[in-house]
Amino acid sequence: MKILVCISKTPDTTAKIAFTDNNTKFSEAGVQFIINPYDEWYALVRALELKETLNATVHLITVGGADTEPVIRKALALGGDEAFRVDADSHDSYFIASQIAAHAKQENYDIIFTGKETIDYNGSSIGGMVAELVGIPFVSIASKLDVNGTTATLVREIEGGEETVEVNLPVAVSAQKGMAEARIPNMRGIMAARTKPLKVITPAATDTLTSVVSFELPPAKAGVKLISPDNVEELVKLLHEEAKVI
């Protein structure tokens, strides 16, 4: 069995967000980057569990410049066997999905994993696009996956409950909470990651369909008003007239 896990580089959730070039680019100054948590905690770890139980081979892929290599090396340290970096800098979902699909078509993977979304753009579109471009089924926001032979059984969230589906491999899956438990790289894995293959791929010729016009930060939160516990009338007035919650 061969599994491909799509890895994204995202800012740490504690990073202070700022923009440059007339608010058209994200400023990376002073920002710590991590593996997108949905890619790491759920997609990658479930792939590694399948590696252990089904003797699967786990490949990793990311689309980005050389600055993404520390992130994908960490994914190798967790247990990935081989990594691929498509040498292109783009935030267009179609472009990224096209690069992943072009590689996947050559390798004939049984399962292609993505996280349910990235924590920076929250687009949730890559997995479905990759599935369509490769020509395989897609199961979104899956919280459980089991494989029996050439059949995968998945549990996914739907409005008001859960849905259990069966699909023949190959399949693309976007993973969310419940799919697996997070892992921490050990020293052996970190050392081994230094020598594992990380191949740089020339990007396939494809269109870019979207571009960023501008970014803007949300409005600043209003200051906190402190009310004396003895002044209940003032509290009720503010909740009614300003907060409008009563």
Looking at the structure of the chain, the number of domains it has is 1
The predicted-structure confidence for 108-135, as pLDDT tens digits, reads as follows 999 999 999 998 888 889 999 999 999 9
Q: Tell me if 198 is assigned to some domain.
A: yes
- Looking at residue 46, its pLDDT comes to 95
Q: Tell me if 168 is assigned to some domain.
A: yes
What pTM, to 2 d.p., does this model score? 0.84
Q: Tell me if 224 is assigned to some domain.
A: no
Q: Tell me if 227 is assigned to some domain.
A: no
Q: Are 8 and 62 in contact (CB under 8 A)?
A: yes
Q: What is the CATH number of the domain that holds 204?
A: 3.40.50.620
- Looking at residue 98, its pLDDT comes to 96
3-state secondary structure the chain: CEEEEECCEEECCCCCCCEECCCCEECCCCCCEEECHHHHHHHHHHHHHHHHHHCCEEEEEEECCHHHHHHHHHHHHHCCCEEEEECCCCCCHHHHHHHHHHHHHHHCCCEEEEECCCCCCCCCCHHHHHHHHHCCCEEEEEEEEEEECCEEEEEEEECCEEEEEEEECCEEEEECCCCCCCCCCCHHHHHHHCCCCEEEECCCCCCCCCCCCCCCCCCCCCCCCCCCCCCHHHHHHHHHHCCCCC
Query: Range of 64's domain?
Result: 2-217
Q: Tell me if 223 is assigned to some domain.
A: no
Q: Tell me if 22 is assigned to some domain.
A: yes
Q: Tell me if 244 is assigned to some domain.
A: no
The parts of the chain modelled with pLDDT lower than 50 are none
Q: Tell me if 203 is assigned to some domain.
A: yes
- Looking at residue 94, its pLDDT comes to 94
